[in-house]
A = this chain, B = another copy of it.
Amino acid sequence: MDKIKLSHGGGGIDSRNLIDSIVAILGNPILNSLEDSAILKFPHEKLAFTTDGFVVKPIFFPGGDIGKLAVCGTINDLSVMGARPLALSLSLIVEEGFSKTDLEQILYSIKETAGDVPIVTGDTKVVERGSADGIFITTTGVGAQLINAKPSASRIEPGDFFIVSGSIGRHGAAIMAKREELGFSSELVSDVANLSSMLVPIFDKFGEDIKTCRDVTRGGLAAIISELSHSSDVGVEIHEERIPVDADVSGICAALGIDPLTLACEGRVLLAVKPEIADAVVLMLSSTEHGTKSSIIGLATKDHKRKTYLITEIGGSRILEPPAGELLPRIC
């Protein structure tokens, strides 16, 4: 039987066997102890703590799967706060009838993506057929924030530069292309990536001159910039031609009438930094695997607070609105 049964979630012998098989893949001394909480030494001052649920559809897509997405999303949420990821928890909600082989593949993907960040505690629930769509994953992460890291959505000042770490919208475009109903045959690959090794050294080097750092997920660059301009009470000017968008992504966007600025990424960040370090940050990002296309895209202004002006290639400008209405559901 290659299927998850309801009894795998009941707390009896089948549950124990399922947990044993999960632990066999993800195992480490803390997880193996199967206590009700993991106990971690924490000789640091500042604890970073973040959670995300993942419901992506389809669960396997070019460049990743729901497991890789969950680990990257959570590790990135720690990393953008200037925190070294220390450990993850993993909560699975699985539909009765889900393939054990698929579950195993997702677990191996989780293990590989997490690298040296251990999964130290977890939980598995099973719901009846039709009460969930395959598998949902919630990962939670704890990390140690670097002493000098002080990123905050409210610290941006007029004059600060905005930097994006790579070409945008690939994840959203890859999911759209993969969904059969759209009938695309493209194998556009998601940008999903674990960014801790790119970001932690940036915070280590530039400290509080990194004013804020956000991973560009649901709602895309348009949503994040809007949020930041509100939180910091500044205006924003972005130069459209400086925003990296790959040709395959803009192709799909043109075909579907979607603005790539509203598409989710899962391996890109937006930083706001002091202007004097902006070039050095781009240089450092560019030398990393996932930062090769990093680019200064604009700056914060004293004028037109809480509004973002997008300056187009031909020199015109339009206000960039946060996305509204029904965006692409279940992108992450």
A residues lining the B interface (CB < 8 Å): 5-7, 9-16, 33-55, 76-78, 80-81, 83, 87, 89-93, 120-128, 130-133, 136, 138, 140-143, 145, 151-154, 214-215, 217-220, 223, 227, 231, 262, 264, 322-332
A12–B78 CB distance below 8 A = no
CB distance from A246 to the nearest CB of B (A): 21
**What chain B residues lie within 8 Å of A214 (beta carbons)?**
36
Q: Is the CB of B41 within 8 A of A142?
A: no
Complex Cα distance A226/B133, Å? 33
* Contacting pair A50 B323 (CB below 8 A): no
Residues in B with CB closer than 8 Å to A40 are 46-49
Residue numbers in B under 8 Å from A35 (CB-CB): 81, 151-153
Q: CB within 8 A of A55: which of B34, B127, B227?
A: B127
Which residue of the partner chain B has the closest CB to A13?
B324
| Distance from A263 Cβ to chain B, minimum over Cβ atoms (Å) | 10
Q: Per DSSP, are chain A's interface residues mostly helix, strand or loop, or mixed?
A: mixed
Cα A43 to Cα B151 with chains together (Å) = 21
Q: Does the CB pair B43–A37 fall under 8 Å?
A: no
Q: List 11 A-B contacts (CB under 8 A).
A: A9-B330, A33-B154, A35-B152, A37-B48, A37-B50, A38-B49, A43-B45, A49-B142, A51-B122, A123-B138, A125-B136
Complex-state Cα separation, A14 to B37, whole angstroms: 36
Residue of B with least CB distance to A215: B36
Cβ–Cβ contact B330 & A127, under 8 A: yes
Contact among B33, B87, B128, B326 for A10, CB-based, below 8 A: B326
Contacting pair B11 A323 (CB below 8 A): yes
Most B C-beta atoms less than 10 A away, residue of A53, A78, A322: A53
CB pair A322–B125 under 8 Å, yes or no, is no
Contact of A153 among B10, B34, B323 (CB under 8 A): B34
What's the Cα separation between A140 and B52 when bound, in Å?
Answer: 11
Contact present for B43 and A217 (CB under 8 Å): no
Query: A322 touches which one: B13, B93, B153 (CB < 8 A)?
Result: B13
Partner of A133, one of B11, B50, B132, B219: B132
Question: In the bound complex, what is the Cα–Cα distance between A68 and B14 (angstroms)?
Answer: 27
Tell me the complex Cα distance, A126–B130, Å.
16
Residues of B close to A12: CB separation below 8 A = 219, 223, 262, 322-325, 327
